[in-house]
Amino acid sequence: MEDETYAKELDVAVKAVHMACSLCRRVQHGLISRTSDEIKSKDDDSPVTVADWGVQATVSWLLSEVFGSQSVSIVAEEDVQALSESDSAGLLAAVVDAVNGCLDEAPNFGLQKPDKHLTTQEVLEAIKRCNSTGGPEGRHWVLDPVDGTLGFVRGNQYAVALALIEDGKVIIGVLGCPNYPMKREWLNYHHQYYQSTSPATDDSWEKGCVLYARRGSGKAWLQPLLRGDVNFESQYEARLIRVSSVDDPALATFCEPVEKANSNQSYAAGLAHSVGLRKQPLRVYSMVKYAAIARGDAEVFMKFARCGYKEKIWDHAAGVVIVQEAGGVVTDAGGKPLDFSRGIYLEGLDRGIIVCCGATLHERIVGAVYASWDSSNL
């Protein structure tokens, strides 16, 4: 693969995610500072915010403008049903305002802004355009506008994830982590307490980054989060990141989901103990776990879904390619690569997902899964 292959796609995707993070930060600040009318409950009880729809509309509009709305296929999490209800006029107006405010800043991120503000109908159409179901053929953008919505509404960790899948393979991954601190020791799900007690001038709480990678390049990159009110060319350059070199389980840090609803933490804890992982698990919302592995801040991420839960491609695609290009290993619990070619779900997933900084730890964990599975409670 030549260096310039997918260069335009990667450039636009990175800028779009920086813009999406800027939108999210503004909305999150508003949610934390007041009781929110901007949260709507979906059928599965996960809260959906102005940021979810705002990011989806913004990214959809940007991709369609650059690559043509007729040729862009987008797989994304949200639909417009809840926004179209009669009691949602205020919510919809907030989404439209958020989208237009974000797109106004597009030139500062190196992208074109609309000639005039988008109408309510244009925003709804941009959200509705994200109706692809992916599949084994063709090119599909995959977007999770706010991954870790609970973390988002609690002022905690969340991510904006955008990936490009071509013929079933993840080609590009971009992961925006607006609350990811620049120093690892602050990556803790109690971080709101630490943030409130740390001095405002303390650089250790400098936070927000975008990670990205292109399949086959052998490189993954990190940029501090760009600001929408400053031209992007005057801001920070990207730097290369690599996974940790730790291969001793006793020294390894293990990530797991905060929420227990769709994850079997007791099995993961038993597995961690059996392979010699002794450190307290790092419980983090969202795909920030993939970022932690790629940046070298943690060594292992395991997720074993509870019976009946099906993993969705937008929860993993961007993170997988970033970890792999940073030197890590990602498979299902049987050691097979994840299959992104079969629609919106990771069909055929063997028991769970294992993400490691290297082959040594990965092989030990896969072996432990095989040794312990029959006696587990999954």
Q: b/e map of 86-105 (b: 16 or more CB within 10 Å)?
A: eebeebbebbbebbbbbbeb
Tell me the CA distances in angstroms from 337 to 168, 187, 303, 340, 346, one per residue in order.
12, 28, 15, 9, 11
Residue 299 CA to chain centroid, in angstroms? 18
Residue 19 belongs to a domain? yes
| Same structural domain, 198 and 307 | no
Residue 1 belongs to a domain? no
What's the CATH number where 72 sits?
3.30.540.10
Residue 300 belongs to a domain? yes
| Same structural domain, 202 and 325 | no
> What is residue 330's predicted lDDT score, i.e. its pLDDT?
98
DSSP string, 82-147: GGGSGGGHHHHHHHHHHHHHHHHTGGGGTSPPPSSPPPHHHHHHHHHT-B----SSSEEEEEEEEE
| Same structural domain, 216 and 257 | no
CB atoms within 10 A of CB 341: 17
pLDDT tens for residues 160-173? 999 999 999 999 99
| Same structural domain, 237 and 308 | no
| Same structural domain, 235 and 291 | no
- Looking at the structure of the chain, the number of domains it has is 2
pLDDT tens for residues 301-320? 999 988 888 999 999 999 99
Inform me whether the pLDDT recorded for 215 exceeds 70: yes
> What is residue 188's predicted lDDT score, i.e. its pLDDT?
58
pLDDT tens for residues 264-277? 888 888 899 999 99
What's the CATH number where 322 sits?
3.40.190.80
Split at pLDDT 50, 70, 90, the class of 198 is: very low
| Same structural domain, 237 and 339 | no
pLDDT tens for residues 97-152? 999 999 999 999 999 999 999 999 999 999 999 999 999 999 999 999 999 988 89
| Same structural domain, 27 and 71 | yes
> What is residue 193's predicted lDDT score, i.e. its pLDDT?
41
Distance from C-alpha of 172 to C-alpha of 141, rounded to nearest angstrom: 9
Least confident of 174-188, 258-272, 364-378: 364-378
Split at pLDDT 50, 70, 90, the class of 185 is: low
| Same structural domain, 27 and 125 | yes
**End position of a domain, from candidates 241, 270, 293:** 241
The catalytic residues are 52, 149
Q: What is the average per-residue pLDDT within 258-267?
A: 78
Q: List, as residue ranges, the binding site for Mg(2+).
A: 77, 144, 147, 315
Inform me whether the pLDDT recorded for 176 exceeds 60: yes
Inform me whether the pLDDT recorded for 211 exceeds 70: yes
> What is residue 182's predicted lDDT score, i.e. its pLDDT?
66
Split at pLDDT 50, 70, 90, the class of 62 is: very high
| Same structural domain, 228 and 317 | no
Residue 11 belongs to a domain? yes
> What is residue 192's predicted lDDT score, i.e. its pLDDT?
44
Residue 167 belongs to a domain? yes
Q: What is the average per-residue pLDDT within 281-292?
A: 92
Q: In what order do the strands lie in the sheet with 353-356?
A: 282-283, 254-256, 300-303, 353-356, 329-332
Distance from C-alpha of 45 to C-alpha of 285, rounded to nearest angstrom: 17
| Same structural domain, 51 and 144 | yes
Q: Give me the chain's average pLDDT, please.
A: 87
| Same structural domain, 222 and 277 | no
> What is residue 204's predicted lDDT score, i.e. its pLDDT?
42
Distance from C-alpha of 182 to C-alpha of 169, rounded to nearest angstrom: 31
Identify which has the larger pLDDT, 90 or 331: 331
Distance from C-alpha of 185 to C-alpha of 204, rounded to nearest angstrom: 9
> What is residue 375's predicted lDDT score, i.e. its pLDDT?
46
**End position of a domain, from candidates 241, 266, 295:** 241
What global pTM score does this model have?
0.92
| Same structural domain, 237 and 257 | no
User: Strand 74-76 relative to strand 139-147: parallel, antiparallel, unpaired?
Assistant: parallel
Split at pLDDT 50, 70, 90, the class of 230 is: low
Residue 2 belongs to a domain? no
Residue 180 belongs to a domain? yes
**End position of a domain, from candidates 211, 241, 271:** 241
> What is residue 201's predicted lDDT score, i.e. its pLDDT?
39
Split at pLDDT 50, 70, 90, the class of 236 is: low
Residue 292 belongs to a domain? yes
Where in the sequence is the domain holding 313, given as residue range(s)? Answer: 249-375
